[in-house]
Amino acid sequence: MMPAASVPIITIDGPSSSGKGTIARAVARALDWHLLDSGALYRLVALAGQGRGANPDDIDAHVMLARAMRVEFLTDSAGYERVLLEGQDVTGAVRSEQAGQGASRVAVWPALRDALVERQRAFAAPPGLVADGRDMGTVIFPAAELKVFLTASADERATRRHKQLISKGSAANLADLSREIAERDHRDTSRAVAPLKPASDAVMLDSTGLSIQQVVARVLALGRERGLWQVG
């Protein structure tokens, strides 16, 4: 196996609902690279805590779960991605608002963030990794070859989230979503440890008004310019 240092890495960081999950997944697919959805790990810690009946403020209990929890990211025989926690399928639960809110709470604890560092770095494997989160380019993979900081206006992010929820058949109120997005942005950018901020060498990419295909094409063009893969 190639040493981890030679594995090319693209980090895609940005605020909630900036589309980074969708973009990271599409870029990983286009290149046939591995994908790290780091937010899912924070969500899984919150879910594991809820499943064990842990006190939501008990840092030690959550740190222990972050170290010990058994997590699998799989693609099932029909081609759908599945997330397993202790062997249980939690694919739906992990994307719930409840898990997202829980993740945002546990993510402010330095000891918990430390407990997840090695788990995240272990995703770097040949032929390459696309890592999506808040601190991928600043803390987890500071030597990544390409760092993208994806933004979109708060209004556009609320509208995207609204459409996403409506398409899933969930009730959603645009004003409530705008407020929640603003609250989560504030918590993610103002926390003391690994706050959401672009790495000094990140490329800022504002996706307001751009299609998913346009943003993916831009990220791939940046990777190609930097020679992250052989052009066949």
Q: Which is nearer to ligand DC, 105 or 218 (CB)?
A: 105
C-beta pairs of 72-81 under 8 Å, 24+ apart in sequence: 73/35, 73/37, 73/40
Q: Which is nearer to ligand DC, 92 or 227 (CB)?
A: 92
Residue 232 Cβ vs ligand DC, minimum distance, rounded to whole Å: 32
φ, ψ (nearest 5 deg) of residue 30: -60, -35
- State the Cα torsion 27-33-196-55 to the nearest 10°: 120
Q: Which is nearer to ligand DC, 19 or 223 (CB)?
A: 19
Q: Which is nearer to ligand DC, 168 or 224 (CB)?
A: 168
- Residue whose Cβ sits closest to ligand DC: 39
Rounded to whole angstroms, how far apart are CA atoms 60 and 45?
A: 12
Residue 79 Cβ vs ligand DC, minimum distance, rounded to whole Å: 22
Residue 215 Cβ vs ligand DC, minimum distance, rounded to whole Å: 16
Residue 216 Cβ vs ligand DC, minimum distance, rounded to whole Å: 18
Token pair listed for 147: 């760092």
Residues lying near ligand DC in the complex (CB under 6 A): 16, 38-39, 42-43, 100, 103-104, 107, 133-135, 184, 188
Specify the 3-state DSSP secondary structure of 58: coil
Question: For 153, how many CA atoms within 13 A lie in the half-sphere containing its CB?
Answer: 6
